[in-house]
Amino acid sequence: MQKKSILFLTTQLPYPPNSGGTVKSWNYVKHLSKSNELIVGSLLKDEDQKHEKAFQENIDLSDYFSERVNIPRSPLNLILSYFTAPCLNIFRNRSFAFAEKVEKLAKSVDFIIVDHYEVFQFVPKGFKGKVIMHTHNAEFMLWQRMSELSTNPIKSAILKLESNRVKKYERKIFSQSDLIYSTPSDIALYAEHGIDTSNHRVTYHLGNDTLLALTDLKFEKTEKAISFMGTLSWEPNIDGLVWFIKEVWPLIKSNEPNVVFYIMGKNPDNRIMEAINKDSNIILTGFVKDLDSYLKKTRAYIAPLRFGSGMKVKVLEGLYRGVPSVATTVAAEGLELQTGKDIFIEDNPKGFASACNILLNEENTWNRFRDNSRKIAQEKYTWPMLFKQMDESFEKLS
């Protein structure tokens, strides 16, 4: 691939890669940096500033710049966004200082890659090069699904309005992009809602595919344990965990009173803590550096998401390691998996609980899921295969 000058813009520092979005962004910028002149511009959130030095030490960049933003999600900012921005998250990611830096550096590059729709606002008007949009979700659908799940009619209406605003903005920025990378399921959603997908090309959000190199797990060495991994401040994870703990977990415990549930992730939202309600069988592990220390003793790995879009890295991590899994339809979206063969896909509490209980007790089913999940992950979902495909699309654009 011929060396290119690229400006990569992202909403948060893609390091350390410890969530679905940062895993993809980190692997992507690392890949791009190997054969291109790459500049990364990042907005900074939460603890990002602590990791800037390590980020730069672990990647070869032509330049790097950043700007901290801290505009909270609040009723006031939502109202302000109605008057000053296309949608709430564009308002929350505004930075005039960042825009000035982008304006200056964009003059020296041939390509701008926009990582997350929130930073498309920084692409300079009149930019002469090519613009590549790298999506992480069909964002409008995330808002729409939240609206559909809400039992509060006022909140549901507000979320539906925001979904429409985001959809309108996504339609606009796609029309201004020369190439758009999205997952297959998100491309289908865009097309279904009347958005032109002629410039869309397939990407995936993968995980730590080095787990494929580890030896197979053994049923007899596991515990009667269920595991979940994810960012515990992310709304789809919060909603899914609360649903699982309140609706599914009691059904599992009625058959398996000694079962343990490991929740891997730091800083759990208060709603998760309230749902746990001092249940001694539910263990909050905090941040886990060695994920395999929990996966290798897990019998059922779960992804109980009820809204969101795109591919879920947490599900792929289970496939790579061969941990038999139970997921909702939303969590398994975009993955070529067959329920009952590679994974259990269940959306109601009774079915989800039954699937977990099967994996807790049936060794033959457990072994079949382990083998099938690793096989399909090896064949379809590895980083080298993905980047070869994305590079081909990039070359055609050039």
Contact 94, 69 (CB under 8 A): yes
Q: State whether the Cα torsion 143-148-152-156 is positive or negative.
A: positive
Q: Which helix (H) or strand (E) holds 228?
A: strand 225-229
Q: How far apart are CA 200 and CA 99, in angstroms?
A: 26
Q: How far apart are CA 61 and CA 65, in angstroms?
A: 11
Place of tokens 């002149």: 37
Burial per residue of 226-254, b for 16 or more beta-carbon CB atoms within 10 angstroms, e otherwise: bbbbbbbebebbbbbbbbbbeebbebbee
The DSSP bridge partners found for residue 284 are: 263
Q: What's the DSSP call for residue 353?
A: H
pLDDT of res. 134: 96
pLDDT of res. 397: 86
Q: How far apart are CA 333 and CA 314, in angstroms?
A: 12
Looking at the chain, the number of H-run helices and the number of E-run strands are 16, 13
Burial per residue of 123-137, b for 16 or more beta-carbon CB atoms within 10 angstroms, e otherwise: beeebebbbbbbbbb
Closest to 310 measured CA to CA, from 161, 178, 206, 179: 206
Q: How far apart are CA 373 and CA 343, in angstroms?
A: 7
Query: pLDDT 10s digit of each residue in the chain, 398 long?
Result: 568 999 999 999 999 987 767 889 999 999 999 999 999 999 999 899 999 999 999 999 999 999 999 999 999 999 999 999 999 999 999 999 999 999 999 999 999 999 999 999 999 999 999 999 999 989 999 899 889 988 899 999 999 999 999 999 999 999 999 999 998 889 999 999 999 999 999 998 888 888 999 999 999 999 999 999 988 988 889 999 999 999 999 999 999 999 999 999 988 999 999 999 989 999 999 988 888 899 999 999 999 999 876 667 888 889 999 999 999 999 998 888 999 999 999 999 999 999 999 999 999 999 999 999 999 999 999 999 999 999 999 998 87
Give the type of residue at 307: F
Q: How far apart are CA 387 and CA 295, in angstroms?
A: 27
What pTM was computed for the model? 0.82
Pairing of strands 260-264, 225-229: parallel
Domains of the chain: 5-203+383-397 (3.40.50.2000), 209-380 (3.40.50.2000)
